[in-house]
Amino acid sequence: MADLLSRRPSDFMEDEMERMMRRFFGRPVFSASGEGFWHPPVDIHITDKSVLVRIDIPGIDPKDVEISIEDNRLLVRGKRIACEEAVKNEQCWYNETKRGDFHRVIDLPGYVDSTKTNASSENGVLTIKMSKKKEAETKVIKVQTK
């Protein structure tokens, strides 16, 4: 209840404007309601053998997430459904959760072996593990004189 009491009158006006615009245009116009394009937070950790990427995506079914590696970049896409779609027969009165499409592009270090990559999801955290390439052996080439 504290959240309701601490809201400014202009917050209610913004919410109502967003609802009216959504009714008129059929989609969210402003991001004040948390709907639209968003970027989930990302953590990247490097170990001796791998690169770990963790992305916070609570409430998103892992089947609705697309992961690809292209041109040494990790691309992660997905969608969190709109508030009205999340719970049938209920009107979304207040929403701070970001919803809609998300997309993250992460430049990868050159030593990532994209063929040895796996992804898992636990407690709303997507973890992508990419193995490091084995370091190339240094070969010394002697210059011969004639």
HEC string of the chain equals: CHHHHHCCHHHHHHHHHHHHHHHHHCCCCCCCCCECCECCCEEEEECCCEEEEEEECCCCCHHHEEEEEECCEEEEEEEECCHHHHCCCCCCCCCCCCEEEEEEEEECCCCEEEEEEEEEEECCEEEEEEEECCCCCCCCCCCCCC
- Percent of the chain past pLDDT 90, that is, above it, reads 32
* Reported pTM: 0.65
For residue range 3-51, list pLDDT tens digits in order. Answer: 444 456 666 677 777 777 767 766 555 544 455 678 899 999 998 899 9
The confidence score (pLDDT) of residue 94 equals 72
The confidence score (pLDDT) of residue 99 equals 80
- Percent of the chain past pLDDT 70, that is, above it, reads 75
What is the number of other CB atoms lying within 10 angstroms of the CB of residue 105? 11
pLDDT confidence bin for 68, thresholds 50/70/90: very high
Q: Is the pLDDT of residue 101 over 80?
A: yes
pLDDT confidence bin for 83, thresholds 50/70/90: low
Mean of the pLDDT values across residues 108-122? 89
Domains in the chain, CATH or no CATH each: 1-33 (no CATH), 38-132 (2.60.40.790)
